[in-house]
Structure 1
């Protein structure tokens, strides 16, 4: 941008433009308080503003008693079913869970055996991308960031749909199944092209196998020798089940509902949701956790020392080390207080794999940080908020143990969460009925229009 501006006006710089903006655009915290604005659609106690109703999912992390927020163990329910019960049920019967969760989230009931087999078959039948799509859309336009490519590819699929703007339930059901099925293919193609173009490594493309469930199809596509164990596939499937949905209020799902309420097409809607999930305050946090952990492992000499680890965490919070953000990534959540059930399940299932894959010491360090971080947070910030490890804290380690490259940590989140996005889109289209439009109060600046020839500003003004 700066190069283009300098070509058209050599005396103008981006820094001067930014200074001009800052001089004329300030909204203080006091003004937000004065007008009782609920920033981030949050109430004063941190709870979310009620913006809609849903059957799809509920996220529980605290109780309210006499107007006081009381910390509680976290629970995540899909269609009123505890996600832990779903996971345990699938494991007891030796099945993969993601396909079952796709059916449950969209249709509202657990599938019977015929329906389960049908959704598995439908996802396989729709997994292949349109003819020449990989060559024309993905390979010819590589991206350093796979999330960016996911959004672009989904948006481009609009042009391959014979009826992209039909908002009927039938058409959205067709489109939803197709997009859920195709997301793993887009992700793995985009990653292979990124490896070839930017990392100068060999790319490879494996055909999809009809007997593979979604987690198996992803591992099959990412491993050059196509070899993986059933335990590995089950752990990846667990990650997908836990990431599949998280209520209507999370940023990307709310984005989905906002765009759906405007009655735009599904491709524009899902592309926008992917853009939201990419953000470091949302799905991109798992990438930040991995960067933080790399920094900690390089700078803490004794990983088994509580004192050394806690001291470094305090330095992170004081913005002395790490990325200087003052954040311990993966610790704390908008809803969960005492525990995030997703993190609890990931840690439980990852423990045995860590011992088998040489990650026992790293796993122990993660556990130590999870235990010490709340006290470090309270000590440095003085904030008594109850915090716990969230799903992003352990998901990166699990992906690393499975050989999933860091480039795909957040894309894997999107490949899983699209099931929830589609469920919420269909619900918004069929039950919402009004375009989502919250209010913003305009602040007066005391300005009136002045003819151009009469505009004489202070000589100190920038530009």
Structure 2
């Protein structure tokens, strides 16, 4: 047996959910460009879970189901108030809250197909409420209850700020949700599938996935991109800052991708939204710095930007706290995680790979009195 570091190039399962072929991302055969321009996030959720786009009646039904399940148990809201707020990252709060939610779901350990679908609805509906409620509680504000008359994207922004968002903000956020919904067998999705392949419950699978997404080499990259932009500060500082990083062989967050060679097809959509939003907010320097960084890194390292790079300035322009960027990734990606969890349950086999042993051999036990 020979190991492959990071399982690069290893095909670990079959799936009918999403594909990355020749640098083209599709959800159930629909090109991401088509979906990003035309689909609502609710349509994408339905597509990932049912492998087809919904009819008008089916779309209305899933919207209704999500709206009716968005509220959190009081115990979860009260639990946030016990956290050491100044040191708790929102991703840690989200991970803990999702695990806690399982304690209040009477169907948590019910493993029928119907029960698992109902749990999927509850989790998809409640994760935005978790993120926004924690964000407000840590600032000493009361959570804003979800509204049943708003779209998924609009409702998130409303619960975050208490104000109904404008049309451009909703368009930008909906587009970001669509682009982040699924991405084949990425680290967090693989983690979720490994977890539930033991026939553990849906809440355990999503908690595991959130733990994997928390890392800066996965979901945490967009937060690090905004940190970099803030450190640079102005367009004049871009060249010396980036060249210093490159000369010291430091990683530039938001560039390159394990499975794309010509570039992440999602990045261009957020690049356009970044340009539009930064102009509207009177802060075009965020976009200008980003394009200058892209120019340098792409020309000198041959690395195009990935989806994380421009999502940072998009979220910043929407007035979202920087440490909420990764939880927002989870708000979207939970739709893909749940699709993969349901697919894993439907045709399950325990995921148990092997390891190439590189330690010593032919050792013999020596009594402790004889050890030097």
Query: TM-score scaled by structure 2?
Result: 0.95
Equivalents in 2 of 1:252, 1:160: separation in Å? 24
Aligned CA distance change for structure 1 residues 450 and 342 (closer, same or farther; 3 Å): same
Matched position secondary structure for 2:176: helix
> Which structure 2 residues correspond to residues 45-64 of structure 1 after superposition, within 5 A?
48-60=9-21, 62=22
1:455 is matched with which residue?
Answer: 371
Does the 8 Å contact 1:103/1:110 carry over to 2? yes
Instruction: Return the offset for 1:311.
Output: 4.4
Equivalents in 1 of 2:297, 2:216: separation in Å? 20
Q: Which of residues 267, 271, 284 in structure 1 aligns to 2:220?
A: 284
Q: In the TM superposition, what whole-angstrom CA distance separates every residue of 1:283-318 from its partner, at most 9, and x where no partner exists?
A: 0011111112222226x6x26xxxxx4443221022
Q: Which of residues 158, 161, 167 in structure 2 aligns to 1:230?
A: 167
Q: In the TM superposition, what whole-angstrom CA distance separates every residue of 1:240-296 from its partner, at most 9, and x where no partner exists?
A: 11111111x200000011111111011111001000000011000111111122222
Equivalents in 1 of 2:121, 2:310: separation in Å? 29
> Which structure 2 residues correspond to residues 169-248 of structure 1 after superposition, within 5 A?
169-196=113-140, 203-224=141-162, 226-247=163-184
Instruction: Return the offset for 1:142.
Output: 4.7
Moved more, 164-173 or 309-318: 309-318
Equivalents in 2 of 1:284, 1:255: separation in Å? 16
Equivalents in 2 of 1:353, 1:158: separation in Å? 38
Q: Which of residues 102, 110, 126 in structure 1 aligns to 2:69?
A: 126
Structure number with greater Rg is 1
1:297 is matched with which residue?
Answer: 233
> Which structure 2 residues correspond to residues 21-420 of structure 1 after superposition, within 5 A?
36-42=2-8, 48-60=9-21, 62=22, 74-90=23-39, 97-135=40-78, 137-143=79-85, 144-196=88-140, 203-224=141-162, 226-247=163-184, 249-297=185-233, 302=236, 309-319=238-248, 326-377=250-301, 386-420=302-336
Query: What stretches of structure 1 of length at least 5 have no aligned partner?
Result: 1-34, 43-47, 63-73, 91-96, 197-202, 304-308, 320-324, 378-385, 457-463
Moved more, 257-266 or 140-149: 140-149
Instruction: Return the offset for 1:351.
Output: 1.8
How many residues in Structure 1 have an aligned counterpart in Structure 2? 369
Does the 8 Å contact 2:137/2:143 carry over to 1? no
Q: In the TM superposition, what whole-angstrom CA distance separates every residue of 1:28-52 from its partner, at most 9, and x where no partner exists?
A: xxxxxxx63201001xxxxx20111
Q: In the TM superposition, what whole-angstrom CA distance separates every residue of 1:102-121 from its partner, at most 9, and x where no partner exists?
A: 10000111011111111111
Query: What stretches of structure 2 of length at least 5 have no aligned partner?
Result: none
Matched position secondary structure for 1:58: strand
Instruction: Return the offset for 1:438.
Output: 0.8
Does the 8 Å contact 2:229/2:289 carry over to 1? no
Aligned CA distance change for structure 1 residues 111 and 142 (closer, same or farther; 3 Å): farther
Does the 8 Å contact 1:340/1:388 carry over to 2? yes
Q: In the TM superposition, what whole-angstrom CA distance separates every residue of 1:8-30 from its partner, at most 9, and x where no partner exists?
A: xxxxxxxxxxxxxxxxxxxxxxx
Does the 8 Å contact 1:289/1:393 carry over to 2? yes
Instruction: Return the offset for 1:207.
Output: 2.2
